[in-house]
Amino acid sequence: MEPSPTVLYHSLQSNFATKKEKTMSEIRDQTKPYYQYTLSELIDRLSIVQLKQTYNPELKEVYAKEIEDLEHDITLALPKNIQGRGVDGAFIRDVIVLAHYNHLIWINEDKERRAIDENNPDWETRYKRLRLTHSWNNGIRNPAKAKLQSLVGGRIEYKNNTLSAEDCKNWLPSGY
């Protein structure tokens, strides 16, 4: 029995996509940018994609690839004297991650303060919210700060650099 034209088409299409993808990755030149954006547009896009990765964990790997490409282009766009000081695309991303998770922690703590003011009896929700906040602090903020501090030396905090696996498996940024 021969496959239907629809099945054959999809089969050929997926084979072509696989071959095209392999070809593109093979011919990619690491010395050239992947996007035609200015430095500010690259950083803006990186911050947006980082947010998308956080809020769409089912697409984490797709966004991880774009983040990697944006870090690459940011590094190329930075002047050499700045790169020589250790500032590159990964450094810019660490700053974005730190700011993003500080914002999330602030929102959670604000919700908790309001819950106390409203005499909220939902202790389970409050406990989960505080546990998540501490996991973000210990498992994401502290490693981001350690990565940034390592560029200039000095004291780096190594304790509490773990996430509660139960709370944060979807919150962890790629590469952390």
Average model confidence (pLDDT) across the chain: 78
Could you tell me if residue 138 is inside a domain? yes
Could you tell me if residue 24 is inside a domain? no
Q: What is the pLDDT of residue 165?
A: 52
Could you tell me if residue 161 is inside a domain? yes
**Residue 142: which pLDDT band, with cuts at 50, 70 and 90?**
confident
Across 22-30, average pLDDT: 59
What percent of the chain is predicted at pLDDT more than 70?
74
Higher pLDDT, 71 or 121: 71
Q: What is the pLDDT of residue 1?
A: 47
Q: What is the pLDDT of residue 175?
A: 80
Could you tell me if residue 31 is inside a domain? no
**Closest to 135 in 3D by CA, of 103, 171, 99:** 171
Residue 103 CA to residue 85 CA, distance in Å, equals: 28
Q: Which residue pairs, CB below 8 angstroms and at least 24 apart, start in 123-132?
A: 128/167, 131/164, 131/167, 132/108, 132/164, 132/167, 132/168, 132/171
DSSP single-letter state for residue 78: S
What is the three-class DSSP state of 21? Answer: helix
Across 25-32, average pLDDT: 71
Higher pLDDT, 40 or 162: 40
Could you tell me if residue 10 is inside a domain? no
- Can you give the pTM of this predicted structure? 0.71
Question: Contact 50/57 with Cβ under 8 angstroms?
Answer: no
Could you tell me if residue 15 is inside a domain? no
Could you tell me if residue 16 is inside a domain? no
DSSP single-letter state for residue 29: -
Q: What is the pLDDT of residue 17?
A: 38
Across 94-114, average pLDDT: 87
Could you tell me if residue 13 is inside a domain? no
Residue with tokens 């190594």: 158
What is the three-class DSSP state of 79? Answer: coil
Q: Which residue range is the domain that position 163 belongs to?
A: 36-168
Total count of domains within the chain: 1
